[in-house]
């Protein structure tokens, strides 16, 4: 019988879910600190009175731009996953982990306030099993093996309010190795097919290819989108 794995799991403090998600992803205490993430905020938007990448009160609530910049310091990239695609196209062997963005109620002590905030959750593999390392959980939640994870991701992405980011190394991102090759080939075939359409439909086919058939968007290439609906996704 295999011993229960040792899992590092930071629990929620203030509005620091992005910080907890990053440290839980790298499974090391202090991989990042609040001061480091605040420094990233200042670098992203210098010389401003109110920094748009964190809470106005400085309690956290960091946005996707901060997470992206922090991951890049560790040689990683965050890739936005198009939820219209089947998570089965993911090559889990080349993926470091996942960061899921979900809606969250806001509490002040024991009082539930009528505010909707955004919450960052890490999912990653540890000793063969995938775990939900949500900082709001009392303990890591076992998801299971690869097939269990794919089913779990499908269920999560049925919600229009949830978004998934795939965390990979820069090399994997550049070569798109986080996605099974058959999915890439299908995407290329679809693109080529569109180019053989009638001349009158060429512009529409190119539009569709860009907007419907793209498997993923690098966060670095969609900085405007990476504000992630700026005020709603933090």
Catalytic residue ranges? 17, 119
φ, ψ of residue 161 to 5 degrees: the values are: -90, -5
Q: Which residues pair with 163 in a beta bridge?
A: 101
First to last CA, the chain: 42
Number of CB atoms found within 10 A of residue 227's CB: 17
DSSP state letter for 15: B
Max CA separation in the chain (angstroms) = 64
57 burial type by CB count under 10 A (0-12 exposed, 13-18 middle, 19+ buried): exposed
168 burial type by CB count under 10 A (0-12 exposed, 13-18 middle, 19+ buried): buried
φ, ψ of residue 33 to 5 degrees: the values are: -120, 165
């Amino acid at each position: 019988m295999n011993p229960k794995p040792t899992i590092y799991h930071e629990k929620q403090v203030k509005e620091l879910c992005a910080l907890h998600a990053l440290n839980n992803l790298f499974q090391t205490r202090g991989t990042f600190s609040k001061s480091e993430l605040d420094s990233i905020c200042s670098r992203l938007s210098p010389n401003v009175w109110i920094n748009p990448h964190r809470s106005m009160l400085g309690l956290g609530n960091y946005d996707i731009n901060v997470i992206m910049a922090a991951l890049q310091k560790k040689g990683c990239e965050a890739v936005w996953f198009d939820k219209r695609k089947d998570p089965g196209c993911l090559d889990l062997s080349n993926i470091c982990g996942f960061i899921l963005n979900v809606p969250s109620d806001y509490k002040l002590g024991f009082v539930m306030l009528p505010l909707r905030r955004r919450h960052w959750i890490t999912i990653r593999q540890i000793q063969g099993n995938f775990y939900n390392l949500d900082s709001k959980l009392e303990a890591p939640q076992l998801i299971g093996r690869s097939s269990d994870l794919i089913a779990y991701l499908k269920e999560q992405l049925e919600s229009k309010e949830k978004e998934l980011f795939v965390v990979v190394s820069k090399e994997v991102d550049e070569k798109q190795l986080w996605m099974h090759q058959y999915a890439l080939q299908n995407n290329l075939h679809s693109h080529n097919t569109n180019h053989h359409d009638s001349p009158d439909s060429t512009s529409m086919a190119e539009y569709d290819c860009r907007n419907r058939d793209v498997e993923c968007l690098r966060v670095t290439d969609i900085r405007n989108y990476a504000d992630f609906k700026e005020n709603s996704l933090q």
